[in-house]
């Protein structure tokens, strides 16, 4: 897996708005897709690990879907709050390796 | 659980000196540790993968004699930037894989290195 793209690069929303971002990756040799949230001056925090096509995972107001055949994942945040402000990274991994290949991330800012 | 610390968080050094960065898994044993580097506005780039008690595996283009990695125990890996130069200034971050956690990685908070 060489090319991981995330869009948009940055996003500014008002508190209460719902938002979503995209992670695109080559679908060949896919094993798992990881989503991380990275707040400034903190460690990246794992949100989801997804492996199955059509999988959907949810954690509070955040959810993610996975399409392994076409090579994309969406991350949704419902009713954004200022504390959701962070960079959201996705990273697919391949079979026979535990390496993660990271996208450049989507930087989200939620204004009160 | 699954906390990773990294030390120092920030270091400024003179050109030509060596800098050691420590990565520790505080509450679990890390079978594998990973070292990444991030340039401004770019993604995390994997530099090397280290397994306890064996030599690190470096990614293409990463000089192993420049970036020395030691993984002496299941809770500690160190990255030493030898003879640092201004172009080595970057953000370095480690992650650790835990036994029984599949290929999930737990990250440290990173180290900002500035070489004058």
What pLDDT is recorded for position A47?
95
Looking at residues B59-86, what average pLDDT do you find?
94
Is A24's pLDDT higher than 80? Answer: yes
Split at pLDDT 50, 70, 90, the class of A42 is: very high
Residues of B in contact with A41 (CB under 8 A): 109
Which of A45, A89, A98 is the closest to B97 by Cβ?
A98
Q: Quick one: B89 exposed, middle or buried, by C-beta within 10 A (0-12, 13-18, 19+)?
A: middle
What pLDDT is recorded for position A28?
84
Looking at residues A32-37, what average pLDDT do you find?
95
pLDDT digits (tens, 9 = 90+) for B20-36: 999 999 988 888 999 99
- Asked if the Cβ–Cβ distance from A105 to B43 is below 8 Å, we say yes
Which of B32, B49, B108 is the closest to A43 by Cβ?
B108
């Amino acid at each position: 897996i060489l090319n991981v793209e995330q869009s948009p690069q940055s996003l500014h929303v008002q508190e209460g708005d719902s938002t979503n971002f995209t992670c695109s990756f080559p679908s060949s040799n896919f094993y798992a897709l990881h989503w991380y949230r990275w707040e400034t001056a903190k460690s990246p925090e794992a949100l989801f690990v997804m492996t199955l096509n059509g999988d959907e995972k949810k954690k509070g107001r955040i959810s993610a879907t996975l399409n392994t055949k076409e090579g994309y994942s969406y991350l949704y945040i419902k009713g954004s709050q200022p504390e959701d402000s962070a960079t959201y990274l996705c990273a697919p991994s391949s079979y026979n390796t535990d390496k993660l290949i990271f996208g450049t991330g989507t930087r989200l800012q939620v204004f009160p | 659980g699954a906390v990773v610390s990294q030390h120092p968080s920030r270091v400024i050094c003179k050109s030509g000196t060596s800098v050691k960065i420590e990565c520790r898994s505080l509450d679990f044993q890390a079978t594998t540790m990973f070292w990444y580097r991030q340039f401004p506005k770019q993604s995390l780039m994997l530099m090397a993968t280290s397994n306890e008690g064996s030599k690190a595996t470096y990614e293409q283009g990463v000089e192993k004699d420049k970036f020395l990695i030691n993984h002496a125990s299941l809770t500690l890996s160190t990255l030493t930037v030898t003879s640092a130069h201004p172009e080595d200034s970057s953000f370095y971050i480690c992650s650790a894989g835990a036994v029984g956690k599949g290929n999930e990685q737990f990250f440290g908070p990173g180290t900002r290195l500035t070489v004058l």
